[in-house]
Structure 1
Amino acid sequence: VNEQLIFALVGEGSNGKSVLLDVLDRVLGDLVYAVPDSVIQPGRGDAHPTELMGFKGARLAFASETKREGSWSVAQMKKLRSSEAITARLMGQDFVSFQPTHTLWLISNHRPNVGPGETAFWRSYREVHFPTIFRREGVELAPGELRADPGLTAHLIEHETPVVLRWLVEGWEAYRSEGLREPQAVMAASAEAQAEASPFSVFAREAFTLAPGESVPASAAFALWQAWKDQSATLTHLRPNVARDISVLATELGVEYVPNRGGASPALISGLALTPAGQDLARELADRGPYSRGPKISSAALEWLREHAGLRAVSSQQGGPVVGVTAPARGGFGVATVTSIQSGGPFAAG
Structure 2
Amino acid sequence: MFCTNCGQRLTDDANFCGHCGQRIIQPDLASISEAVKDLVTDKAEDIVIQDDNLSSCDNLKNDDVAQKASYIGEISYPKTSNIPNSVQRKNEPQYIETHSPFLEDYLIIKRENTSTHSVSYCLLNTISNKQSEWFDCINYSGYGIFYIERGGLKGLMEDSFENYQLWDQMSNSERGYYCVAKDGKWAVITIRHKRIEQVTAYEYDYFSPFIEGAAIVKQNGKYGYFLYDKDTNKMRMLPRVLDGAHDFVINATKCVATVIYQGKSYEMDKKGNLYEKEKLERNWVEIIGTAFFIWLILVVGVGVLYNMIFNEMSLNEAYQAQILFDAPTVVIALVTAISALMLSIKYHKQDDIYVLKMNIASSKASDK
- Provide the TM-score with structure 1 as the length reference: 0.25
Identify the structure with the greater helix proportion.
1
More strand by share: 2
Of structures 1 and 2, the one with the larger relative CO (CA 8 A, separation 6+) is: 1
